[in-house]
Every structure is written in C-alpha cells, then in structure tokens.
Amino acid sequence: MAKGKDAGKRIKGPVTVNIDNTAQAYLEILRDRGVKYFFGNAGTDFAPLIDGFARFAGEGKEYPKPVLVPHEFVAVSMAHGYAMITGEPQVVMVHVNVGTANGVTGVMNASRANIPLIFTAGRTPITEGEVKGGRNLQIHWAQESFDQASMLREYVKWDYELRCFAQVEKVVDRALNIALSEPKGPVYLSLPREVLAEEHQEFTYTPAGPKLYPKPGPDAEAVRQAAGLLKEAKNPLVITSMAGKNPAAVGELVKLCEAFALPVTIAMSNLYLNFPTEHPMHLGFDPMRFLPEADVILVIEADVPWFPIRSKPKPGARVIQLGVDPLFSRYPMRTFPADVPLACDPEAGLKALQQALAPHRPAKRKIIQSRYQRLAREHAAQREAWKAAAEKLRKAYPIDMEWVSYCVGRVRDSRTILINEYDLRAHQVSINEPGSFFASPMSSGLGWCFGAALGVKLARPNSVPVICMGDGAYHFTGATACHFMAQKLPVVAVVFNNQCWNAVKGSVTDLYPQGWAVRQGHFSLCDLEPSPAYEKIAEAFGGYGERVEDPDKIIPALKRAVKAVRQEKRQALLNVICKHP
C-alpha cells in the first residue's frame, strides 16, 4: 500500500481496464491498493469473485492472491497475524451472516489489538430472480438478515454495504482510510451478490499514489508536563503492554529509559516485545510489585496497567498515560488515573519526551547513575531467581509449565517467532528483537494463536513460528482448519497440556478460597479429561507429532519440531503433558 514521505507527489491519471462485472472491478481496486491476500471461506455469494480470480489467473495478475481457509475464525486470525507483522491490511471474506457470526470473535480480537482488517461478507441475494445473481437456492430466504452488520458493529470502526458499481473505488478507499487511521482497527463491508454479478465491460479508476493516514501527534503542553514529572521523579516506573506494536517505538523507549534510568515493567496483557528482556532497565512482568513505591508512572499503550483490587498507586503519585487513545475510549468502563494524558503515536511521543528531558540530564547525572546501578542489580537478581525457579523444577513430574517455558527459551533463536496464548512464562525466555514475540489480544477470544501463527508464517516465510498454548486454547483454534493450512505454512505448536481450563478453576479458588469447590475438590466444567492424543491430529495432516512426558526430553523434542519445520517443511505439534492444577 502506497504511503510515506512522498505522499504529496502527483499520481498518474485514470486507468481503464476490461472487466465482466462488479466483482472484477472490486478485485482490480484491491490489487491496485496493494492488498496481497484475500483470505476466503466461500459460499454461494462468492461465485462472481471466484470467476474473477480465474480471469486474473488467466491474465497473470498475481494479487490479491486467494487463500482458502476452512474456518472463518482461522481466516480472520491469519489476516490478523499477517497485518501484525507487516502493518498492511488484508481482506477477509466470509459467507453472508453465518460466516460473519463465525468470524466475530476474530474481529473482537483485532478490534481490541487495533489491527487494520477489511472484514467482508457476502450479502444474501435480495431479489427473487429478477436480476442476475438473485435467489436460486432455499438458503437465500432463510439467511437474509434485517441488519447483518449489527452482530459486530460494536467491534468495527465502520460498516457499509456496497450499493452499486459506481461506488467500488470510493468504498474500498473509505474502508482502507478508516482501518489505517489511528486508532487502527477492523472495518466491515458487505457485498450483495446481485451487485457483484452486475455486468460491466470497463472499469476506470485512479491508481493509488503514496498515502499518509491520520496519526495524532504529541501535544506540546502535555509533553512539557509529562517531562516535568519525570524529571523530578525519585521512583519512576514505566508500564507498557503494546509499545512494541511499532518496533521503532521500542528503540525510542530504550533511549529514554537509558538516558534517565527509568525501569520498565510489562503489564499483564503483554502483546509484543516491548523492551529487550536482557536490558538492565527491564524489571519483569509484574508492575504491581513496584507500584506502591512509584511516585511517577508512565503508562504506554497499556489498557490494564495494574489490577486495582490488588494494588494501587500510592497517594500523591502522578500517572502519565501515553498512547494513540490513552483513555481507551472504546472500553465501556475504564477508570485508571491520567494526570497527564498524552494522546499520540508512542514513537513520536517518546521522541518528544527525550527532547524535553535532554536539557535536564546533566544536572541529574549523579541521581540517574545511582538509580541505574540500583535497578541493574534488581534486574540481575530477578534473572537469577527466575533461572533458579526453573532449574528447581527440571525433574518435576508431571512437567511444570515453568520448566517448559525455560526449555522454549533455550531452543529459540533469531529466526524463531513466539506466539503465546497464556501458558508460556515470558520471564523464562530471553527476547531482545522487536517483532519476535506476540501474545493473544486483551479480549481473549481463545484460539487466536494458531491462526495468527499461520499469518506470521505467510508474512515471514523463512521464520519458524512457535505457538505456545494450553490444551484448552487448542480446542478453540479450529484445529483441523489450522492443521489444514499448516500443510503449506508449517509452524511448531507446543501444547502445554494440563488437562484443564486452569483460568476457570483459578477464578473459583480466587473468589471462593473456602468454598464448596475447594473444600470438596469438586470443580465442574474445568477438567478436559480424558485427554486425547493431540499429536496424532498433526500426524493426520502429514506433520510431525510427539507426546512428551519426561522433563529431560523437552529440549530434544523442541529441536526435532523446529527441524521438521525448518528443514522438512512440515508442521509439528508437541503434546507436553503438564501438571494438572
């Protein structure tokens, strides 16, 4: 998609191409706008598009490339993963209202993670045979909705229905403009079959030129106030969960924290590699440990920086909230304090803070050096404690998830991209490269990880995506659809199999520590037993599968799984039998 510093350059005049119908015009404009993939779960509404893809193939037009995905949730998750890596929006199309319903959870995930997606669906034919593409099957009556978009309107930035051929270019550009403008997010477009099938001979459009999308810049007064607070802070604290969405912001955060000895902690919703884990200013994954002593707290793109029921800032502490939408206006209720809201792109905001603080650094040099040394000692002590905790469990049977996480950290390399859906203990893995770690969105639409990893593999073919998920999450992935796609997009899936939905069980023990369930050891709706041989599912799709019960065999098994993907070009799944909670 054209964008960047040359946005003001003049673009070429109109282009006219030969077509047969509206569907082909739609594909032409997607191609021109740089959309590379068309993730589809097809139905009877796709007929004009499928014929259009055949014409594209005959004419040697490579993009958009159709990708058949056997489940809608997986299709949306794949597009999410691809956009997560590249920043480029991709198109997903599903079958009318039923396909939309299957994809809604994926859209929720994309919405909360601010991922730009063009989520589209066919529209059940409206006419009863009067025009081409009208109703000719029984389902065409039963599948019509009064308001198809209503089921997801709360989670998209914009929704619309293509009304006629003349709108094609304007509607696609409108969808892209809204999806890519901050805060980014999914949009929804429905495409009636009669409109797609409407016959036309030519399509004239204006080719895409370099494009800039709206991005809020830092307010000078907010920067001044934020810098003033940080300058005088004795115990500052940085909390973030999504700064790493833009890898360039990670570098700016490192510069700021090095210059003023600011400790960084990662919030519970840790979606990206936000700060190099081996940097001395990285103080782990529990902001609440440091919150009571902090006098100035810089929150960067973190929707839930702490749990108020467990910990709160001390009286008089000041909070700076920095992000594209620092108050998370799309959340119905969120009341974390914001003494200084700094609404801007994190990269730009961090640069502005550096500039504002730079003149004050010489006068604070001794204080900064002393704080840096103290925090570096804390950092080193954390790492030693984490390693000791893992080593203590190296012989534990059944296997402990802490040890599995440590082993994953020992095996990963620069070509490995970790996709975590809860069970990987991030503190056991050393990661310093932005764009090498991703975790499930805050909405927790379970099963996201497998489809996202497939999208990552599509975007970075030479990488080895390693999925870390529980057996509970695996059930939600649309496993057979994912394994089907992994035949051409091989990834490693590590199932942390504790035969339980531990989050559900944990919520019971947390809320009712002396309740009936705890006293009687009776937790209904939690256990996932008998546990099937998940590794056999991967084998059914030509992949490498292995059951691991011995803690000493995890690292060799991980190496075999990575080899299967990297050298044998086939998927792998490790069913690691872990301790039942």
Which pLDDT score is estimated for 5?
A: 44
- pLDDT of 256 reads 98
Give the CATH fold of the 220-381 domain: Rossmann fold (3.40.50)
Q: Are 457 and 482 in contact (CB under 8 A)?
A: no
Best CATH choice for the domain 393-577 from the list 3.40.50.970, 3.40.190.10, 3.30.70.141, 3.40.50.720: 3.40.50.970
Taking alpha carbons only, the member of 353, 333, 407 closest to residue 238 is 353
What residue spans define the domains of the chain? 15-205, 220-381, 393-577
Q: What is the mean pLDDT of residues 202-228?
A: 92
Mean pLDDT of 111-116: 96
Residues in the chain: 581
Place of tokens 């009712």: 512
Report which secondary-structure segment, H or E, holds 106. helix 96-112
Which positions ≥6 away from 84 have C-beta within 8 Å?
113, 115, 438, 452, 455, 456
Each residue's pLDDT tens digit, 490-529: 999 999 999 998 889 989 999 999 999 999 999 999 999 9
Tens-digit pLDDT profile for residues 331-359? 999 999 999 999 999 999 999 999 999 99
User: What gap in Å lies between CA 40 and CA 22, rounded to an integer?
Assistant: 18
CB 565 within 8 A of CB 571: yes
Q: Provide the CATH topology of domain 15-205.
A: Rossmann fold (3.40.50)
Residues 181, 175 contacting (CB under 8 angstroms): no
Whether 181 and 114 have beta carbons less than 8 Å apart is answered as no
Measured distance CA(459)–CA(271) in Å, rounded: 18
pLDDT at 11: 58
Helix (H, G, I), strand (E, B) or coil at 376: helix
- Tell me if the bond preceding 64 is cis, omega within 30° of 0: yes
Confidence of residue 212 (pLDDT cuts 50, 70, 90): confident
Contacts of 228 (CB under 8 A, 6+ apart): none
Strands 15-18 and 37-40: unpaired
pLDDT of residue 286: 96
Structure token digits, residue 383: 């790492």
Task: Tokens 């994809």: give the residue.
Answer: 103
Q: With 0-12 CB in 10 A as exposed, 13-18 as middle and 19+ as buried, what is 437?
A: buried
Q: Structure tokens of 237?
A: 């604290």
Per-residue pLDDT, 4: 45
124: left (phi over 0), alpha (psi -120 to 50) or beta: beta
Given a cut of 90, is residue 210 above it in pLDDT? Answer: no
pLDDT by residue (tens digit) across 374-401?
A: 999 999 999 999 999 999 999 999 999 9
Evaluate if residue 134 carries a pLDDT over 60.
yes
Q: What is the enclosing helix (H) or strand (E) of 177?
A: helix 168-180
Distance, in Å, from the CA atom of 439 to the CA atom of 424, rounded to the nearest integer, reads 10
Distance CA 183, CA 328 (A): 10
Domains 220-381 and 393-577 share a fold: yes
**Residue 486 structure tokens:** 């992994």
Structure letter (DSSP) for residue 363: G
Share of the chain above pLDDT 90, in %: 90
- CB atoms < 10 A from the CB of 129, how many? 9
Q: What is the mean pLDDT of residues 527-532?
A: 94
Question: Which two three-digit tokens encode residue 128?
Answer: 């009863």
CA dihedral of 266, 268, 271, 272, whole degrees rounded to 10: 20
Quick one: residue 527, left, alpha or beta (phi over 0 = left, psi -120 to 50 = alpha)?
A: beta
| pTM score of the predicted model | 0.94
Sheet holding 296-300, edge to edge: 264-266, 236-240, 296-300, 318-323, 340-343
Give the tens place of pLDDT for each residue, 16-58: 999 999 999 999 999 999 999 999 999 989 999 999 999 999 9
